[in-house]
Amino acid sequence: MVVLMVLHAKGFCWGFFAHRMINYQAVFLLPPEMIAFYKPNIDFISAHAVDPDKRRYAVAEEGARHYIDMDRYAGTEIPRAWSKAVQKFSVDTLKMRGIVPWWIQVMLTRLTKAFRDKDVNTILKLSAETGHYLGDAHVPLHTSSNHNGQLTNQHGIHGFWESRIPELYADSEWDLFNGKATYISSPLQFIWKRVEESSRASDSVLKFEKMLNEKVTSDRKYSFENRNGVIIKQYSAEYCAAYNRMMNGMIERRLRESVFAVASFWYTAWVNAGQPDLKNLSRKELSEQDRQEFSELEVKWKNEKLKGRSCD
Ligand SMILES: [Zn+2]
């Protein structure tokens, strides 16, 4: 009998489930003029929420776009603007420590241009991907070099926090609705604030799991499930419930704040593009280039090794 330790599905930060859910829920926070366009495309927007994680198997420079190791800057101020940060630390150092807050700016600029051009397929693709990076920036362990507890003997905590627990509670118990999309006048400040919050929370994410781990014996920490003849080992429901209680709503809150941020960034891009009329826009057949890109992502993700940091 094969026993597999499944901490979460292969290579999806925030987990496939949560990324999908964030993009899906964000659609309902949009103003009516935008919902009319996004809702018929909600399956596409949700399904492609994980493309950036798949791209980490295809493109080496993709990895750094998903995180920033704030602890590596301890005591040193990070200039908010990319050009100033480059002057202070160099491009290589920034890339080594992760660039998520700046990459979100790039995505926002691209998405704004796509709205201006009324380029339907690109709007949808970039909306889905912008949602991904925003989601990642809300995860505390995406702002720590101890991103999977590997430095403190807590291997697996990454997927535990952002996949296993949302999968257990998000559908049945959590309320992810968070008012309406809001125009963000300073996206750079907004995203840095969220990154700072993630960074401040990362200590408790690790510390509480350590405390819980000391109290619970390993036969109660993990549970085993038979899935089509393969025994799957995962964090037990009891362990998840205890940790989620200790987190005092943090995971639900970060998920909810992700949804709000995603809807607000989509809305902000649309406003900055001059609020183009989306009424008569409908998704076109995929271009040959898009078709090729999607199938290549799929193949590389399934068959190749991750390039760069893993959160499995
Ligand atoms: Zn990611």
Does 309 map to a domain?
A: no
Does 311 map to a domain?
A: no
pLDDT number for residue 299: 82
Between CA 156 and CA 194 the distance in angstroms is 24
pLDDT number for residue 10: 46
- Domain containing residue 247: CATH number: 1.10.575.10
Does 312 map to a domain?
A: no
Lateral strand order in the sheet of 230-235? 3-5, 230-235, 222-227
Q: How far does residue 215's CA lie from ligand 1's centre (Å)?
A: 31
pLDDT number for residue 272: 98
Q: How far does residue 66's CA lie from ligand 1's centre (Å)?
A: 5
Residue 61 per-residue DSSP state: G
Which residue bears the tokens 């399934």? 302
pLDDT number for residue 7: 47
DSSP string for 257-292: HHHHHHHHHHHHHHHHTT----TT--PPPPPHHHHH
Give CA 1 to chain center in angstroms.
34
Q: How far does residue 216's CA lie from ligand 1's centre (Å)?
A: 30
Q: How far does residue 14's CA lie from ligand 1's centre (Å)?
A: 7
Does 60 map to a domain?
A: yes
pLDDT number for residue 1: 54
Does 59 map to a domain?
A: yes
* Buried residues in 290-302 as b, exposed as e (16+ CB within 10 A): eeebbeebeebbe
For 299, the domain range is 3-303
Does 123 map to a domain?
A: yes
Q: How far does residue 50's CA lie from ligand 1's centre (Å)?
A: 7
Q: What is the block-wise mean pLDDT of the chain (312 residues), using blocks of 10 residues?
A: 53 75 97 96 95 90 95 93 97 97 98 96 97 96 93 91 90 89 97 97 95 91 86 90 94 96 98 94 79 84 74 54
Q: How far does residue 262's CA lie from ligand 1's centre (Å)?
A: 14
Provide the number of structural domains found in the chain: 1
Handedness of CA 29, 120, 100, 307 (dihedral sign): positive
pLDDT number for residue 71: 95
Q: How does pLDDT run across 26-71, given as a tens digit for each residue?
A: 999 999 999 999 999 999 999 999 999 999 888 899 999 999 999 9
Q: How far does residue 129's CA lie from ligand 1's centre (Å)?
A: 10
Does 199 map to a domain?
A: yes
pLDDT number for residue 285: 76
Does 310 map to a domain?
A: no
